[in-house]
Structure 1
Amino acid sequence: MKFLEVLPLVFVMIAGPQILSAIFLATSENWRRNSAAFVGGAAISITLVVTIAFSFGIGAVGQGASHTTLSAIVVVALSFAMIHTYRTRAESEPPRWMGTLESATPRFSFRLGFLLMGFFPTDILTSTAVGSYLAARGASLTEAIPFIGLTLLILALPSLILAAFGERAEIALPKAREWMNANAWLVNEIVLLLFIGMALNNLLG
Structure 2
Amino acid sequence: MSFLTVLPLAVVMVSGPQILSAIFLATSNEWRRNSLAFVAGAAVSISLVIGVAFVLGFGAVGTGQSRPVLHVLILVVILAAMVSTYLKREQSEPPKWMGRLERATPRTSLRLGFLLLGFFPTDVITSATVGSYLATQGLPLTDAVPFVLATLLLLALPSLAVVMLGDRAKTVLPNVRDWMNTNSWVVNEVVLLFFAGIVLNGLLN
TM-score bin (small chain): over 0.9
Q: Is the 8 A contact 2:11 2:154 kept in 1?
A: no
Hey, what does 1:84 align to over in structure 2? 84
Aligned length: 204
For 2:188 and 2:35, the matched residues in 1 are separated by 23
Change (3 A) 1:170 1:84: same
Hey, what does 1:177 align to over in structure 2? 177
TM-score where L is the length of structure 1: 0.94
Please report how far the alpha carbon of residue 65 of structure 1 lies from its aligned counterpart in structure 2 after TM superposition. 3.4
Q: Percent sequence identity over matched residues?
A: 59
Aligned-partner residue type, residue 185 of structure 2: W
For 1:181 and 1:123, the matched residues in 2 are separated by 20
Hey, what does 2:103 align to over in structure 1? 103
For 2:49 and 2:194, the matched residues in 1 are separated by 21
Aligned-partner residue type, residue 163 of structure 2: A
For 2:201 and 2:43, the matched residues in 1 are separated by 28
**1:134 and 2:134 equivalent?**
yes
**1:155 and 2:144 equivalent?**
no
Alpha-carbon RMSD = 1.3
Hey, what does 1:46 align to over in structure 2? 46
For 1:123 and 1:77, the matched residues in 2 are separated by 15
Unaligned runs of 5+ in 2: none
Deviation per CA, 1:122-176: give whole Å up to 9, x if none.
1111111101101110111111000000100110110011011102222100000
Please report how far the alpha carbon of residue 73 of structure 1 lies from its aligned counterpart in structure 2 after TM superposition. 2.5
Hey, what does 1:9 align to over in structure 2? 9
Runs of 4+ in 1 over 6 A off after TM superposition: none
Secondary structure of 2:58's counterpart equals: coil
TM-score where L is the length of structure 2: 0.94
Q: Is the 8 A contact 1:25 1:102 kept in 2?
A: yes
For 1:134 and 1:148, the matched residues in 2 are separated by 14
Please report how far the alpha carbon of residue 94 of structure 1 lies from its aligned counterpart in structure 2 after TM superposition. 1.2
Please report how far the alpha carbon of residue 5 of structure 1 lies from its aligned counterpart in structure 2 after TM superposition. 6.3
Unaligned runs of 5+ in 1: none
**1:204 and 2:198 equivalent?**
no
